[in-house]
Amino acid sequence: MKFKFALLCLVILLPSFLNPLLAQNLSVSGKVLNKTTGEILVGATISIEGTRKSVLTDANGVYNISVQKGATLMVSYVGLNSQKQKVSTGTDINFSLTESAASSLNDVVVIGYGTKKRKDVSTAISSISAKDIAATPTADAAQALQGKVAGVTIVQGSGAPGGTGGTSIKIRGISSLTGTNNPLIVVDGYPLPDQQSDNVLNSFGTGDIETIDVLKDAAAASIYGVRASNGVIIITTKRGKAGKTSLSLDSYHGVQNAWHLPTSLFAKDYAILNSEARIASGLQLLPKLADFNAIEAQYGTGTNWLKEIFRQASMQSVNITAAGGSDKAQFSLSAGYFKQDGIVYKTDVERFNLRFNGDVKVNDKIKIGNSLSINKFTEHGTDTYSPFNSVILLALTSPPTVLPRNADGSYAGGNGSTDGFNEPNPIYQLEVPKNQFTKYRLTGNLFAEINLLKYFKFKASFGADYNFQEINNFSPATPSSGGRPFILTGYTAQKGLYPDFLSEYTLSYDKTFKKHKINTVIGYTYQENKYSYVLAGRGGNFTQNIPVLNDQIFRATDISQTYNASEDGTNSRLISYFGRLNYEFDSRIYLGFSIRRDGSSNFAPQNKYAVFPSVSAAWRLTREPFLQSVKWLDELKLRASFGYTGNPNVAGNAYIQSINQGFQYTFGNSTGSGGVVSGAAPSRSFNPDIKWEKNEQLNIGFDGSILKSKIGFSVDVYQRRSKDLILYVAPPFVSGTYEAVPFNTGTLQNRGIDFSINARIINSKNVNWSASAVLGTYKNEVISLGLSAPLDGGFTRITGGSLRTTQGAPANFFYGFVTEGIFQNAGEIAKHAVQTAGTDPTTSTAPGDIKFKDLNGDGVIDDKDRTNIGNANPNFTYGLTNTVSYKNFELTIFLQGSQGNKVLNFTRWYTEGGVSNGNYSKDVINRWTGEGTSNTMPRLVLNDPNGNNRVSDRFVESASYLRIKNARLAYSIPSKLIDLLKIKKAMFYVSAQNLLTITKYTGMDPEVGGGVDIGFYPQARTFLTGVTIEF
């Protein structure tokens, strides 16, 4: 069908090829140089204004073009100011381009199905370049964006190597309460499927990236329609330029260490405190711990479990790129290898990536090209995130009086009967189970561009994204005298396949009539996404300890030896039409309109198509006569836009009432586990009207530059409202069903300001100093939850969780009790409200316990006394980059921070007593031990009879931070030496990441995704050395 469509378009527009051009032509040639450095510029674009005709300069910086008399030539080069000149005679015209001003007005911005110059943009789009990315060596492009783009909040919630713990990217807050809040990621025109928490950006080599453009407002993003409510990140990879082939090598090597680890109690203190807690609970002392001095004599300070599981780890990266080509064909090839060991023992990632981008001019009218990237990503991970078995939590709580290994080298660990602690030995957990996650990804497209008539361009593009993932978990039966060893061998293997296909056709039209300029594009895309997996596992006695599912290896001997296999999957299709019309008057007034219509197979039959219009306008005041006289003001542009985007967030078939075939009952003489029969009935109702979530956004902003473009700035103010939010509403049980049904109900709002400024403070022959700063602030508020009850989530080990979303507050605030210090004596307990409804306060509460505030004054502390005790949203986030160069040295310092964000530090739930019978945090030394001893740290008692550990403001901490995210000192070999070595460039650098973090937060790292910290994988402090050489 779509091929026919393409053919039709061709047939319709074919006659335009036949129109011959009849005019007087001149042949013009010349050389293009960089005015500042005097370098020849290879691959600069020379175009004829008002036409699509263009050529590139060759290896000597020389161009040759045939042009009509009176036409205007324009020369452009990335990072330099474009220049224009009218052609009157057929002589040589040489150009010397100056370096662009800080505001980079002529930089090309990718706007989705097209490009624009920065000065002509009427929507809110931020861009960062390869140079910015290269300054932060990381495997994960998302991390490279942190603090660089105003309004984009990046939280690296985990320091797991290679960004595998997920890096959250939120553009202007969140837009959905139940759907994805990840922006749409478009790589070389390919909109990639959302992968929820799986990191999309760490599968690509960051060295391949030329630019990242962030479409922030709805008017910019609405051309991507139903997937764009969280904004769009467009990644453009490096393409070859005509000229001499260049070969470049970038390599770095580094070491990483944890920068802040909490301290646990030493052996003697642990024995004292453990015994104190047992006495308070009326329990016998553990005989092993009863003699404190003997403990110290035997164990010294004891096992430092954190030291056992953390290590100094290495990382390295090598990337080789070859690029070049002729006027007719250009290519860019790259190969990369990245390996990072985690600072947690036994964790690592490894990545290979290959890329091939090519462009071929078939003739003056037709250009074809491709992008292709092939990656393999392997991760050896461990559980550092679950509230039960995270190895970091195990290390925090394992007693210091327990050893990792016995004298004979076998695994030791805490043992229930002697240590009162029956959790797995963390070293055992790291060494014995083998978890491997492998991701193979091939993403690419082929395209053809055909110039029709003078002003039309037709482009067809076909692409595929093949993502194949393998997860293998193997836990061989291995003895350990510690808690819960693997007695039976377990092995599970999962293979998941995510093929995605795209075909896309666009027709664009560009035309200038005197002062009027029109630029339009219309298009059609068809994208198909599938996901399927097969999962199989076995548990039992394996004849050999190797991970195989086959019968030869596996011998079942009784019922406890399990076997399971399952498969599932989804598929969906998106068919879309879109159009955009941009009108420009005299480079002064800009108007833009766009519309997209998305049809999704996931939507209900009567709501198959979603339509997303937008409008934007800009006014360059500095082009007006009344501002011409203001000499210090170089550029001032006002922008305003309004538009709609969407969030698909509809599971396939949500509009159908399906049958749940999972019911079971028993018939026959079943005295054991036999006799089971299956039952089938609906367990949920359905919503025949289910549709996408709608997002509307108003954006007003201005861009400017002053003082000969020494200072550039940009400010945006926005309001975005997400309407028709999909929330799950529980049915009345009288319906005979119990599963909640999705409804389009609820409204969420974000209001905020994005601010960025950059300045070239010193710009002299030997010394250059430039700085840029970004700052973003927003306020999130749930306007309405519609039909839905408040949403609870967060920490899964506590009923009701720790986060709540309800009307009139920011989404996901911390929901808990307010504390009022500590009960100092029995009199205070008697006077105060009963701490737990239905209990006898004389037995459940004792002096030294936390006093919870009776908010509703009913004399009982219960669920009604929980309230909003803070949230993880920062007041603002910011980034500050300073680059200072002196001769051949360049120093870049990048500061990044977040202000006003809170973290519910639930690591302390584990380490401040009551929950685990294991070790305590060092802060517990200052606990309550009698009247007046403490008003913050409660007494020690096992099993927490007063519920001191319930979610309360006691655990809410300020997590504002400022960190030197990255500092780099680079030295480039002087040009004389370069000539001698016959190379183009050589640069050596040393760099440090997370060099210094200023924060009051007591946990391992103030960057906590979601705001509830249970001791996630902390970020490392990294030192690296690297080299970049271009041949």
Partner 1 sequence: MTIIFFKRLSILLAVSFFFTKCKKDELTIQPTIPLTTVDNYYQNQTEAINGVNAAYTPLSAIYNGAAWHLGDIMSDDTDLGGGGGGDGIETAELDNFSMTSFNPIINTMWAQCYFGILRANLVLDRVPKVQIISDAIKNRSLGEGRFLRALYYYHLVRLFGDIPLYTNVITAEESAKIIRSPKKDVYNQIIVDLKLAETLLPNTYTVNDKGRATAGAAKGLLASVYLTLGDKTNAAAKAKEIIDNRTTYNYDLWVDYGDNFKLENENGKESLFEVQYRSGGGQYSDYGAGQKLNTFFAPRAQDIVQSSGYGWNVPTKDFADNFEKTGANYNTIIDKRRPSAMWIPGDTYGTYTQSSQLVGSPLGLNVRKYFVPIANTLGDNGGWTCALNVPIMRYSEVLLIYAEAAGPTLGKPFADQVRARAGLAALPIGLTDAQWLETIYKERRLELCFEMHRWYDLLRHPDTNYFINVMKAAGKSNVAAKHRYMPIPQNERDKNSNLTQNDGY
Distance of alpha carbon 198 from alpha carbon 347, whole angstroms: 17
Query: Among 563, 592, 596, 564, which Cα is nearest to 579's?
Result: 596
Under the binding rule (CB under 8 A), the answer on residue 507 touching partner 1 is yes
Under the binding rule (CB under 8 A), the answer on residue 563 touching partner 1 is no
The answer to whether residues 90 and 28 touch, using CB atoms and an 8 Å cutoff, is yes
Residues 739-758 that bind partner 1 (CB under 8 A): 741
Comparison of 240 and 523: residue with beta carbon closer to partner 1 = 523
Question: Residue 532 — left, alpha, or beta (φ > 0 → left; ψ -120 to 50 → alpha)?
Answer: beta
Under the binding rule (CB under 8 A), the answer on residue 680 touching partner 1 is yes
The answer to whether residues 363 and 369 touch, using CB atoms and an 8 Å cutoff, is no
Q: Is residue 179 classed as helix, strand or coil in its secondary structure?
A: coil
Of 172-180, 660-668, 799-807, 878-886, the segment contacting partner 1 by CB under 8 A is 660-668
Distance of alpha carbon 701 from alpha carbon 711, whole angstroms: 17
- Out of 843, 857, 976, 982, name the contact with partner 1 by CB under 8 A: 843
Under the binding rule (CB under 8 A), the answer on residue 606 touching partner 1 is no
H helices of 810-925, in order, are: 826-831, 841-844, 907-911
Q: Is residue 399 classed as helix, strand or coil in its secondary structure?
A: coil
- Out of 25, 36, 72, 735, name the contact with partner 1 by CB under 8 A: 735
Under the binding rule (CB under 8 A), the answer on residue 836 touching partner 1 is yes
Under the binding rule (CB under 8 A), the answer on residue 675 touching partner 1 is yes
DSSP state of 858: S
Site string for partner 1, 607-626 (x = CB under 8 A): -x------------------
Give the tokens for residue 475. 């836990």
Between the alpha carbon of residue 912 and those of residues 848, 924, 942, the distances in Å are: 14, 6, 11
Residues 540-559 that bind partner 1 (CB under 8 A): 559
Under the binding rule (CB under 8 A), the answer on residue 599 touching partner 1 is yes
H helices of 877-987, in order, are: 907-911, 975-981
Under the binding rule (CB under 8 A), the answer on residue 665 touching partner 1 is yes
Site string for partner 1, 181-210 (x = CB under 8 A): ------------------------------
Comparison of 417 and 550: residue with beta carbon closer to partner 1 = 417
Question: Residue 418 — left, alpha, or beta (φ > 0 → left; ψ -120 to 50 → alpha)?
Answer: alpha
The answer to whether residues 516 and 587 touch, using CB atoms and an 8 Å cutoff, is no
- Out of 731, 786, 821, 1010, name the contact with partner 1 by CB under 8 A: 731
- Out of 386, 545, 658, 943, name the contact with partner 1 by CB under 8 A: 658
Give the tokens for residue 554. 């596996």
The answer to whether residues 246 and 308 touch, using CB atoms and an 8 Å cutoff, is no
* Chain-centre distance for alpha carbon 111: 21
- Residue 694: CB atoms within 10 A of its CB come to 21
Residues 250-309 that bind partner 1 (CB under 8 A): none
Under the binding rule (CB under 8 A), the answer on residue 806 touching partner 1 is no
Of 1-9, 138-146, 157-165, 690-698, the segment contacting partner 1 by CB under 8 A is 1-9
Distance of alpha carbon 15 from alpha carbon 10, whole angstroms: 9
Distance of alpha carbon 281 from alpha carbon 271, whole angstroms: 15
Distance of alpha carbon 67 from alpha carbon 76, whole angstroms: 17
- Residue 602: CB atoms within 10 A of its CB come to 22
- Out of 652, 793, 821, 900, name the contact with partner 1 by CB under 8 A: 652
- Out of 45, 104, 127, 600, name the contact with partner 1 by CB under 8 A: 600
Site string for partner 1, 427-456 (x = CB under 8 A): ----------------------------xx
Q: Is 8 exposed, middle or buried (0-12, 13-18, 19+ CB in 10 A)?
A: exposed
- Out of 663, 708, 886, 974, name the contact with partner 1 by CB under 8 A: 663
Under the binding rule (CB under 8 A), the answer on residue 561 touching partner 1 is no
Of 26-34, 126-134, 353-361, 524-532, the segment contacting partner 1 by CB under 8 A is 524-532
Residue 1028 sits at φ, ψ, to 5 deg, of: -125, 125
- Out of 79, 479, 679, 859, name the contact with partner 1 by CB under 8 A: 679
**Helix (H), strand (E), coil (C) string for 451-516:** EECCCEEEEEEEEEEEEEEEEEEEECCCCECCCCCCCCEEEEEEEEEEEEEEEEEEEEEEEEECCE
Under the binding rule (CB under 8 A), the answer on residue 797 touching partner 1 is no
Give the tokens for residue 495. 């293979």
Least separation in angstroms between CB 671 and partner 1: 4
Comparison of 389 and 836: residue with beta carbon closer to partner 1 = 836
Least separation in angstroms between CB 124 and partner 1: 29
- Out of 3, 563, 738, 889, name the contact with partner 1 by CB under 8 A: 738
Give the tokens for residue 938. 């409660």
- Out of 407, 409, 550, 667, name the contact with partner 1 by CB under 8 A: 667
Comparison of 84 and 864: residue with beta carbon closer to partner 1 = 864
Number of residues that bind partner 1 (CB under 8 A): 77
- Residue 865: CB atoms within 10 A of its CB come to 19
Give the tokens for residue 450. 């055909």
Q: Is 808 exposed, middle or buried (0-12, 13-18, 19+ CB in 10 A)?
A: exposed
Distance of alpha carbon 418 from alpha carbon 285, whole angstroms: 11
- Residue 63: CB atoms within 10 A of its CB come to 26
Least separation in angstroms between CB 566 and partner 1: 10
Under the binding rule (CB under 8 A), the answer on residue 524 touching partner 1 is yes
Residues 567-586 that bind partner 1 (CB under 8 A): 567-573, 575, 577
Under the binding rule (CB under 8 A), the answer on residue 826 touching partner 1 is no
- Out of 532, 561, 763, 768, name the contact with partner 1 by CB under 8 A: 532
Of 469-477, 506-514, 778-786, 882-890, the segment contacting partner 1 by CB under 8 A is 506-514
Site string for partner 1, 4-23 (x = CB under 8 A): -x--xx--xx----------
- Out of 362, 656, 925, 980, name the contact with partner 1 by CB under 8 A: 656
Under the binding rule (CB under 8 A), the answer on residue 943 touching partner 1 is no
Of 68-76, 144-152, 258-266, 725-733, the segment contacting partner 1 by CB under 8 A is 725-733
Q: Is residue 352 classed as helix, strand or coil in its secondary structure?
A: strand
Of 176-184, 733-741, 744-752, 915-923, the segment contacting partner 1 by CB under 8 A is 733-741
- Out of 672, 831, 857, 976, name the contact with partner 1 by CB under 8 A: 672
The answer to whether residues 355 and 372 touch, using CB atoms and an 8 Å cutoff, is yes
Comparison of 738 and 886: residue with beta carbon closer to partner 1 = 738
Nearest-5° Cα angle at 960, 956 to 963: 140
Of 248-256, 285-293, 610-618, 656-664, the segment contacting partner 1 by CB under 8 A is 656-664
Comparison of 305 and 603: residue with beta carbon closer to partner 1 = 603
Distance of alpha carbon 539 from alpha carbon 542, whole angstroms: 8
- Out of 20, 282, 605, 625, name the contact with partner 1 by CB under 8 A: 605
Of 87-95, 123-131, 361-369, 603-611, the segment contacting partner 1 by CB under 8 A is 603-611
Identify any residues that bridge with 56 across adjacent strands, giving them in sequence order.
Answer: 45
Comparison of 413 and 579: residue with beta carbon closer to partner 1 = 579
Comparison of 287 and 668: residue with beta carbon closer to partner 1 = 668
Under the binding rule (CB under 8 A), the answer on residue 1 touching partner 1 is yes
Under the binding rule (CB under 8 A), the answer on residue 361 touching partner 1 is no
Least separation in angstroms between CB 948 and partner 1: 15
Q: Is 171 exposed, middle or buried (0-12, 13-18, 19+ CB in 10 A)?
A: buried
